[in-house]
């Protein structure tokens, strides 16, 4: 019987893509952790800061004045102008606010639009992995085929043009780069990006560059891919306010691309989303006008935590490269003798610390876990103590290991 008491009838199958999409590997751990008391979560990929007050105040004020309408499909012109100025100032890349910038509902929507605008069924997209959980599903939902290109700890999880070329076929249409990287925290050196741009030009591929963590770069420079020679015409730049400005809940991002590509994305956006929410756009505009010092303060704080967590993990015996960007440490946990899934699960139950197993992010991360340092220094220090205790218990044979780890102790 259904809810209205009528006989239940069978339905046609859901779409094949929807049926085969895997559930996010991150959710499972959040759900378990949420039920437990006293958990320190290094699992969340979200700033622990509240959106700066000036930004919140601007949005509140706009609501008080009754600013509650749709905006242009492209987004508020003032905001697009401010985004254009930002990218010009930071990277010397010039996007025309009239037809090369689209305000989106986060990078999440920008990614979906980019894939739907460029892919035909069966087109392949090269994706260095481990990578952010939504990259492969976004390609699949647009009818494309995601092709993972495995990167390694030994290469600091960067990818080379040669690795990408080795995975190319006549169906390859684009390469998706996400640096600084979630989950590895790695950044890409300029020389490697130049080679990838040259390859993309030779093969006539699009480049989609997710630069959401650009401002959270602690060592070296962030290279905006579209600013490299020969890159602009084939690159879709995705960025947003969620991470740098602590504005995840406002759902504002932006996509920048040459006019024809942006126009295609805008058409899809206009029929599916119409426009990003106006209060969020007002807040984003204020963020660009007045929150620069807050961004710098948050970046400094992340940087402090980054050093503490990486030093602490290495001292415990978990080999952790120094991430140059984003807010994730990505230690190799094989010294525990546990697989990354087991490590995350047992650490949660034994010591109440939540981390995310590397397997949630694709191939190449089986021996790793992701530890977010977007949490207070105090909590990071307690988490490190607990992880140390957990490793001591393992050494004392007090935690059962299944022997699935790649290097049992
Ligand atoms: C690499 C990466 N891209 C995109 C997103 C989604 O960002 P937004 O909040 O702008 O949709 C995230 C969020 O965690 C991310 O880590």
User: Residue 39: which domain range?
Assistant: 16-44+294-395
Under 8 Å between Cβ of 126 and 167: yes
- Give the per-residue pLDDT at 50: 98
Q: How many CB atoms lie within 10 A of CB 242?
A: 22
Instruction: Answer whether 341 contacts ligand 1 (Cβ < 6 A).
Output: no
Mutate-to-test residue for ligand 1 from 106, 135, 181, 241, highest number of ligand atoms within 8 A of CB: 106
Alpha-carbon distances, residue 140 vs 146, 212, 326 (angstroms): 7, 21, 26
Query: Where is the domain boundary, 290, 306, 337?
Result: 290
Percentage of residues in the chain having pLDDT higher than 70: 97
Instruction: Answer whether 372 contacts ligand 1 (Cβ < 6 A).
Output: no
- Give the per-residue pLDDT at 24: 74
Query: Looking at residue 406, what DSSP letter applies?
Result: S
Q: Atom 7 of ligand 1 has which residue's CA nearest to it?
A: 107
Q: Is the pTM of this model over 0.85?
A: yes
Instruction: Answer whether 132 contacts ligand 1 (Cβ < 6 A).
Output: yes
Nearest to 130 by CA among 318, 360, 342: 360
Rounded mean pLDDT, 64-92: 98
Instruction: Answer whether 358 contacts ligand 1 (Cβ < 6 A).
Output: no
Is residue 331, in this structure, part of any structural domain at all?
A: yes
Could you read off the pLDDT of 4-48 as tens digits, one per residue? 888 888 999 999 999 999 887 677 677 778 888 899 999 989 999
| Domain match, 254 and 391 both | no
The CATH number of residue 342's host domain is 3.90.1150.10
Is residue 260, in this structure, part of any structural domain at all?
A: yes
Question: Is the per-residue pLDDT at 189 higher than 90?
Answer: yes
Rounded mean pLDDT, 203-221: 98
Q: Which atom of ligand 1 is nearest to the CA of 45?
A: 14
| Domain match, 334 and 368 both | yes
pLDDT tier at 409 (50, 70, 90 boundaries)? very low
Question: Is the per-residue pLDDT at 369 higher than 50?
Answer: yes
Question: Is the per-residue pLDDT at 216 higher than 50?
Answer: yes
Mutate-to-test residue for ligand 1 from 212, 246, 325, 374, highest number of ligand atoms within 8 A of CB: 212
Query: Where is the domain boundary, 290, 305, 334?
Result: 290
Distance between first and last Cα of the chain: 55
Query: Looking at residue 335, what DSSP letter applies?
Result: G
Question: Is the per-residue pLDDT at 202 higher than 80?
Answer: yes
| Domain match, 100 and 224 both | yes
Q: Which two tokens stand for residue 290?
A: 């007045």
| Domain match, 155 and 189 both | yes
| Domain match, 321 and 186 both | no
| Domain match, 213 and 108 both | yes
Percentage of residues in the chain having pLDDT higher than 90: 89
Query: Where is the domain boundary, 290, 307, 326?
Result: 290
Ligand 1 centroid to residue 245 C-alpha, Å: 13
Rounded mean pLDDT, 229-247: 98
Q: How far apart are CA 259 and CA 228, in angstroms?
A: 18
Rounded mean pLDDT, 319-337: 97
Strand ranges for 250-330 from DSSP E: 253-256, 328-329
Instruction: Answer whether 212 contacts ligand 1 (Cβ < 6 A).
Output: yes
Could you read off the pLDDT of 383-401 as tens digits, one per residue? 999 999 999 999 998 887 6
- Dihedral angle, C-alpha 171, 174, 179, 184, nearest 10 °: -20
Is residue 10, in this structure, part of any structural domain at all?
A: no
Looking only at the bridges linking them, the beta strands covering 172-177 and 124-129 are parallel
Q: Atom 4 of ligand 1 has which residue's CA nearest to it?
A: 107
Is residue 93, in this structure, part of any structural domain at all?
A: yes
Strand ranges for 58-203 from DSSP E: 101-104, 124-129, 145-150, 172-177
| Domain match, 171 and 67 both | yes
| Domain match, 235 and 202 both | yes
Q: Which atom of ligand 1 is nearest to the CA of 111?
A: 4
Q: Atom 16 of ligand 1 has which residue's CA nearest to it?
A: 182
Instruction: Answer whether 107 contacts ligand 1 (Cβ < 6 A).
Output: yes
Instruction: Answer whether 242 contacts ligand 1 (Cβ < 6 A).
Output: yes
Could you read off the pLDDT of 87-139 as tens digits, one per residue? 999 999 999 999 999 999 999 999 999 999 999 999 999 999 999 999 999 99
Is residue 401, in this structure, part of any structural domain at all?
A: no
Instruction: Answer whether 184 contacts ligand 1 (Cβ < 6 A).
Output: no
| Domain match, 149 and 202 both | yes
The CATH number of residue 201's host domain is 3.40.640.10
Ligand 1 centroid to residue 374 C-alpha, Å: 14
Is residue 409, in this structure, part of any structural domain at all?
A: no
- Give the per-residue pLDDT at 408: 30
- Give the per-residue pLDDT at 402: 58
> For the chain, how many structural domains are there in total?
2
């Amino acid at each position: 019987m259904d809810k209205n008491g009528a006989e239940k009838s069978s339905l046609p199958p859901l779409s094949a893509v929807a049926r085969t999409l895997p559930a996010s590997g991150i959710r499972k751990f959040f759900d378990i952790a949420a039920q437990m008391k006293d958990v320190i979560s290094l699992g969340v990929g979200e700033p622990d800061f509240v959106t700066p007050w000036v930004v919140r105040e601007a949005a509140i004020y706009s609501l008080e004045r009754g600013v509650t309408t749709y905006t242009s499909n492209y987004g508020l012109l003032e905001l697009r102008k401010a985004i254009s100025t930002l990218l010009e100032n930071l990277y010397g890349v010039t996007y025309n606010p009239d037809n090369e910038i689209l305000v989106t509902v986060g990078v999440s929507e920008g990614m979906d639009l980019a894939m739907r605008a460029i892919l035909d069924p069966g087109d392949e997209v090269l994706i260095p992995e481990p990578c952010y959980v939504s990259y492969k599903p976004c390609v699949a939902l647009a009818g494309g085929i995601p092709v993972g290109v495995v990167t390694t700890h030994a290469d600091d999880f960067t990818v080379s043009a040669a690795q990408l070329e080795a995975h190319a076929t006549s169906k390859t249409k684009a390469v998706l780069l996400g640096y600084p990287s979630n989950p590895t925290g790695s950044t890409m050196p300029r020389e490697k990006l130049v080679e990838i741009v040259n390859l993309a030009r030779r093969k006539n591929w699009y480049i989609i560059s997710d630069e959401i963590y650009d401002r959270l770069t602690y060592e070296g420079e962030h290279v905006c891919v579209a600013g490299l020679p020969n890159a602009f015409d084939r690159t879709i730049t995705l960025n947003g306010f969620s991470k740098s400005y602590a504005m995840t809940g406002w759902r504002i991002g932006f996509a920048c691309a040459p006019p024809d590509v942006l126009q295609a994305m805008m058409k899809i956006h206009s029929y599916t989303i119409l426009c990003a929410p106006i209060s969020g756009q007002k807040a984003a505009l204020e963020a660009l006008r007045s929150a620069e010092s807050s961004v710098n303060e948050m970046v400094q704080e992340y940087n402090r935590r980054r050093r503490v967590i990486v030093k602490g993990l290495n001292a415990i015996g978990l080999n952790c490269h120094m991430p140059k960007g984003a807010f994730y440490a990505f230690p190799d946990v094989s010294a525990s003798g546990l697989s990354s899934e087991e490590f995350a699960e047992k650490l949660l139950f034994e010591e109440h610390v939540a981390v995310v197993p590397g397997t949630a992010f694709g191939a190449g991360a089986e021996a790793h876990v992701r530890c977010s340092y977007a949490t207070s220094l105090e909590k990071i220090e307690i988490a490190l103590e607990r992880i140390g205790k957990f490793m001591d218990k393992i050494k004392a044979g007090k935690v059962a290991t299944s022997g699935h780890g790649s290097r049992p102790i």
